[in-house]
Structure 1
């Protein structure tokens, strides 16, 4: 009787300890999944900001440059017509802001984009700012399956990191075929082990790392949102591609107005 009682007494404390460790392990797993979802959201946003920046430069850069050149030409025409020293100084300042530009027929002739402007050559241009629904679905599934934070050793983490880099690149270019191929490749590969460390100290350290990683991601997301491109995208968060088209139309209108003004000044100067 005494031995049995002693045995039961000595074994009793282990149950609560095991229960606490199980709860801690569940908390770690939940934090891992939450971090992965957050990383997916931040990476998706980063891709959109980067694509918007590239497309903005590619599609609208020539138009901004043309507007600067037209401003200089208009200022020079005004100065030639008036001969006023202040107008001449303004013309010098306007010309100093731009480099010699090709004629409008070189910028707007030939192969034009849907917005009326020939795109700047890019060997790997993104198809659009926001990849399509299918590309988004494939990317999220792959990121949840192969995320490096699920690795339990350095070798597995390296393998996953290399694979996710390929996934991110395919997603940036909305390459649905490549994303499907990557999904098949991952499914055919080794099944990653998902066992969590058993020691409470390791689990606590894991939770701390997850919290630090989330803070860094939040800072990155805030930095992207506060950037000039991020703020511009914020004007049309649901359809940033439409925003680019709207800006392009506005710039084309401004180009036409500047050219009309320049033509009028040239006529006035010739007539004078």
Structure 2
């Protein structure tokens, strides 16, 4: 090819370039050696217009870059949401197990505190000691709240898992531990990456994915690896995801803005979880939250033993005064 592009240019008549014949199309650029509208030095082949507008190619490249940015943001958001949901499950499981396993110990401590205060008040007859005894007894028998009135069937998120299981005639299956097994966590992450509603291209597909993810979250919260594996097979055998249509730059910008808002919302949820009492406790043992429950149980047992010894001492002091 000549270094001078004028050499290979088709000859023009004295009256100007010959018009294109009806139906004739300009061939697309050859990626291997066609014209480079961005400033290359290759000569134009016959039939190509050297004055073609490079704007469409530039715009296509910009849209492609924007599309890659959206896909990257979607992946990052899904990974972040997986992390937040994983932590939420651990907070919920820790709260439930903390109540089930340690609740009786806390109740025993409250009862012992009340009995100790009552023994002191009976021995001294001091009005201040009697007031403390009444307050301690009030802690043991608090006024029922909404959850107690509904017998624990309703919590802040609606029906509790136990209530939902009873209403659907399913067996009640409280979590066996705070953190699900590694197999369950691996299956959960893979399912969410594949079926996340944010990957939907239309409302119908989003609804289908949202309903499926609800089932995935429930199985993960229960640490049910077998159900997660069944859900993975179900998703793989389901309808193929619709092919995304060509997106305009405005749609991609809107998508990026939505992803940013979603990220901010998840950050607020994560902050609330971390700042909660249970979240603070979990931060004390990020590697093994189940061991933290055992450690707290040992501390409570030691406190119960101390209170029981104190109660015996107060009762021993009370007996001579009654004689």
Q: Is 1:70 aligned to 2:75, yes or no? A: no
Q: Is 1:148 aligned to 2:197, yes or no? A: yes
Note the 1:49-64 alignment, pairs <5 A. 49-64=91-106
1:206 aligned residue (255, 268, 274): 255
- Structure 1 residue 231 displacement after superposition: 1.0
**Residue aligning to 1:9:** 51
Cα distance in 2, alignment partners of residues 210 and 169 from structure 1: 25
**Residue aligning to 2:291:** 242
- Structure 1 residue 171 displacement after superposition: 0.2
Q: Is 1:94 aligned to 2:141, yes or no? A: no
Cα distance in 2, alignment partners of residues 196 and 35 from structure 1: 21
**Residue aligning to 2:244:** 195
Cα distance in 2, alignment partners of residues 23 and 93 from structure 1: 67
Superposed CA offset, 1:22-64 (max 9, x none): 1111111111111111111111111111111111111111211
Q: Is 1:85 aligned to 2:127, yes or no? A: yes
Cα distance in 2, alignment partners of residues 95 and 159 from structure 1: 52
Higher relative contact order (CA 8 A, sep 6+): 1
2:279 aligned residue (216, 230, 246): 230
Unmatched 5+ residue regions in structure 2? 1-9, 11-16, 20-45, 143-161, 164-171
CA contact (8 A) 1:25 1:196 kept: no
Unmatched 5+ residue regions in structure 1? 101-120
- Structure 1 residue 80 displacement after superposition: 1.7
Cα distance in 1, alignment partners of residues 100 and 237 from structure 2: 39
**Residue aligning to 2:185:** 136
Q: TM-score, normalised by structure 1?
A: 0.87
Cα distance in 1, alignment partners of residues 187 and 206 from structure 2: 21
**Residue aligning to 1:117:** none
- Structure 1 residue 270 displacement after superposition: 2.6
Cα distance in 2, alignment partners of residues 206 and 85 from structure 1: 68
2:229 aligned residue (180, 200, 225): 180
**Residue aligning to 1:23:** 65
Aligned-residue RMSD, C-alpha: 2.0
Cα distance change on mapping 1:25 and 1:241 into 2, 3 Å: same
Larger Rg belongs to: 2
